[in-house]
Structure 1
Amino acid sequence: MIKHVLFPLLLLFLGSGLTLSVSESQPASLLPHAAESFNISYIQLKNAGSCSYMVYISTSCSSPRYTRDQISIAFGDAYGNQIYAPRLDDPNSGTFESCSSDTFQIYGPCAYQICYVYLYRSGFDGWKPESVKINGYNGRPVTFYYNTFIPRDTWYGFNLCNAAASSHQVTVQKWLICIVLGVLLSFWL
């Protein structure tokens, strides 16, 4: 009798635990935002060039035909490895023209999986990137989709480092729940 009552309750518990873990593993925000406490001086002090990164930046077709604005990029991993390029733009070479893609080789400290990127724009022309793809040294290539104008004089982009860490934590919790429930069910069946 107890087995017949507890078994459906355990299945209900398992189902609600897995549903909760799946909903918690979604990133908090997939939209670019202004960096609240981004410290570029820390990056400059730590930026020893020992690894190479390929960065592919696509400019939107709805961006101005060309920009004379200064464009900078900073990206890194969840462990504090940060890469910074102070100036990617070159108006004489047609960099960041609308409907175009530009490739940059950037050197910096060796990082693990890249989980954040910020762009900085200084000037009056305006610029709208479509996407930024980074091929890193120790991780999978990652693409960040902007498709919005970068505000002037603001670090603007994505920080998914906490989302990646919490997603890993939730996955471990899900496995632990399954193991515990499997052991409990083996006693009742």
Structure 2
Amino acid sequence: MLFFDSSASRKSSPSPSHSICSKSSNMFRAFSFLLLLQASIVFTLSEAKLSIIHPEAAAKGFNVSNVQNAGSCSYTAVITTSCSSTRYTRDQISLSFGDAYGNQIYAPRLDDPSSRTFERCSTDTFEIYGPCAYQICYLYVYRTGLDGWKPENVKIYGHNSRAVTFSYNTFIPSDLWYGFNWCNTASSSARKSAHRWPMYAIAALFVFLML
């Protein structure tokens, strides 16, 4: 009579619960890696904007005296005056904006107290004509007078340019061009960030491997 050990003929196989846990672990690691990578990219992009969010005085070489304002392109400037500005202003207010290729649009004396321009909490729209420019990347405001004026933001619409908003929320200093120049700063910050994001990706990969 022959006897067989049935336990010897059975092959061991992984339990279903172990397989499910393994798949769940892999999915969790992949999901964690994607989250870390996304966070590093968002941080990099936000870092590029940190240095250009506040208005400042124009560089000493900035000049509009020789600007030829004749042109066939029109622009719309929408200027919102802050509700914490003076009730009204009699100051002389001018605007200058342009692209990174030397195309500059100059709008002198937008002020008009008789029509209640730039009163507190108001929004004024101006049609401005000048040289045809590409993407608008800088804007400066010039104010001279004793009343003071605090714009909330200035939004520029152009034919060859996406609408761009320059947020001030501060009183404009007197007798100087004051605003933003994103033409060089944005590209420089973007280049620096482009060099840094691979380091963030490597760090995210390292954390992923440690999970």
Question: 1: CA distance between counterparts of 2:194 and 2:150?
Answer: 39
Question: 2: CA distance between counterparts of 1:147 and 1:52?
Answer: 26
Question: 2: CA distance between counterparts of 1:143 and 1:107?
Answer: 19
- In structure 2, the residue corresponding to 1:92 is in which secondary structure? helix
- In structure 1, the residue corresponding to 2:127 is in which secondary structure? strand
Give the gaps of 5 or more residues in structure 2.
Answer: 1-36, 199-211
TM-score calculated relative to the size of structure 1: 0.75
How many residues matched?
A: 162
The one of 64, 80, 92 aligned to 1:70: 92
Give the gaps of 5 or more residues in structure 1.
Answer: 1-14, 178-189
1:1-189 equivalences under 5 Å are 22=45, 25-37=48-60, 38-42=62-66, 44=67, 46-166=68-188, 169=191
Listed one character per residue, the Cα deviations across residues 52-97 of structure 1 (whole Å, up to 9, x for unaligned) are 0000000001111110100000000111110000110001000000
Question: 1: CA distance between counterparts of 2:43 and 2:123?
Answer: 40
- In structure 1, the residue corresponding to 2:134 is in which secondary structure? coil
TM-score calculated relative to the size of structure 2: 0.68
Question: 2: CA distance between counterparts of 1:20 and 1:94?
Answer: 43
Does the aligned pair in 1 maintain the 2:99–2:183 contact within 8 Å? yes
Percent identity between the two aligned chains: 65
Listed one character per residue, the Cα deviations across residues 99-139 of structure 1 (whole Å, up to 9, x for unaligned) are 00000000000111111100001111100000000001211
CA, structure 1 residues 64+85, in 2 after alignment: closer, same or farther (shift >3 Å)? same
- In structure 1, the residue corresponding to 2:52 is in which secondary structure? coil
- In structure 1, the residue corresponding to 2:65 is in which secondary structure? helix
Listed one character per residue, the Cα deviations across residues 124-161 of structure 1 (whole Å, up to 9, x for unaligned) are 11000000000012111000000000011111001111
What is the CA-CA distance between 1:28 and the residue it aligns to?
2.1
| Higher Cα Rg, which structure | 2
